[in-house]
Structure 1
Amino acid sequence: MNPQPRFTLAATTLDAPDAHELAQFYQALLGWPMRKVETGWVEIAPADGSPSTRSEQQMMMHLDIEVNDLSSAVEHALALGATVADFQPQDDVRVLFDPAGHPFCLFVRTGPSA
């Protein structure tokens, strides 16, 4: 039996008509600095990099979950009742749906912060 892959909740992604406006709202609400600003994309996070402890499900969002092995993580999620989305926008990310139909992404961190 293979050991269970490591799963770490890495981010919560919110879709919005204006990413910068929404990021400014949460930045003011939470006091978190902006980490990354691009056209149509903004990342904010606690200054110490720790994840938020709030875990309530909200509409119009999905979870980005960092894993150490993408293929085994997908297999594990499928075994627990997830399904793979038809549309996969990136090669290094897998979009899945939880049993209630909420989307979430599994990814392996790459690059200098990996």
Structure 2
Amino acid sequence: MAAITLDASNAPALAQFYQSLLGWPTRKEEPGWVEIAPTDGSAGLSFQTEPLFTPPQWPSSPSEQQMMIHLDIRVNDLTSAVDHAVVLGATLAEFQPQSDVRVLHDQAGHPFCLFVRSTLVV
């Protein structure tokens, strides 16, 4: 896998958010398309401008755009990571289903989760 692609009404703005959140540099940028990735060459994130983009609803609602994917981001300190994401423009989701995971929404409305390694169960 090379990347996960997120649609947004403004791909460069959403890419800037995740670039700041993750500390990844831009790998490629062209009109309506931005790729960011870690410097080790592993899979990254791509962002595509979609003029008809509708933000997903989370938690799901039968009459709203359904969430198709979300990102799970492992962090060392949950409280600091949430604070950092909010300063960058994320919003904390009203519904939090787990005490050791935080669900947030990026500026485009995509939900993503922050968690510490000890909470990941395989």
TM-score, length of structure 1 as denominator length: 0.49
Q: Whose radius of gyration is greater, 1 or 2?
A: 1
Higher RCO (C-alpha 8 Å, min separation 6): 1
TM-score, length of structure 2 as denominator length: 0.46
